[in-house]
Chains A and B, each alone.
Chain A
Amino acid sequence: SQQGEEDPQALSIQEGENATMNCSYKTSINNLQWYRQNSGRGLVHLILIRSNEREKHSGRLRVTLDTSKKSSSLLITASRAADTASYFCATFLQGAQKLVFGQGTRLTINP
């Protein structure tokens, strides 16, 4: 079964606004990663946050991790139409040496 649950499942906002997506997971992790997928295409790795990190930034992306709540959030600031895509969190499970993906959030940025 999927490790992670993401919310919301779909998000539609206006260009320029900020988009926040959340991810929850169930078991202990080594790290958590966020990916973007444009329709029908492969995955693009966005950011990796280790279990001992609480926040990480990359350009317009900000990721937080709360291991006590087993949750993470991805914030995209000043959204652009090109940010329209599906976003997935994926947890790298300790010991299992594999990535398990959340259900994903379909983000639509309206011009």
Chain B
Amino acid sequence: GAVVSQHPSRVICKSGTSVKIECRSLDFQATTMFWYRQFPKQSLMLMATSNEGSKATYEQGVEKDKFLINHASLTLSTLTVTSAHPEDSSFYICSANLAGGRNEQFFGPGTRLTVL
């Protein structure tokens, strides 16, 4: 199956700093990637849809100036958490759509962000 990677897998940062998370489709091109956030023992919440070459579409309640998304190529999308605070600590997961009509998404392994 298609492989999606994320980097880093874990990051610990001080409050007020910015953190960039990368999501890559390794063996396929993804015109659309998705970013999710998952708090402990909760489900995945879609944050935004990242479209190659255009602005991301954010879900209601997600601050676009705080969670910057860039999808500059068909294999890479980045999520930058700006001025991170402890409440931003979470598990961030990306996924990429495999084109071809199955609407099946392939998920990255996730990035654990801890803000001190």
Footprint of B on A, CB under 8 Å? 2, 30-31, 33, 35, 40-43, 45, 48, 88, 92, 97-104, 106
Contacts and interface: CB of A to CB of B under 8 A. Distances in A.
Main secondary structure of the interface of A (DSSP, over half): strand
Interface of B: 1, 32, 34, 36, 41-46, 49, 91, 93, 95, 102-110, 112
B110 A41 contact: yes
Given A42-B93, A43-B93, A98-B34, A48 B43 contact: no
23 contacts: A2-B43, A31-B103, A33-B104, A35-B107, A40-B112, A41-B109, A42-B108, A42-B109, A42-B110, A98-B34, A99-B34, A99-B46, A99-B95, A99-B105, A100-B46, A101-B36, A101-B43, A101-B45, A101-B46, A103-B42, A103-B43, A104-B42, A106-B41
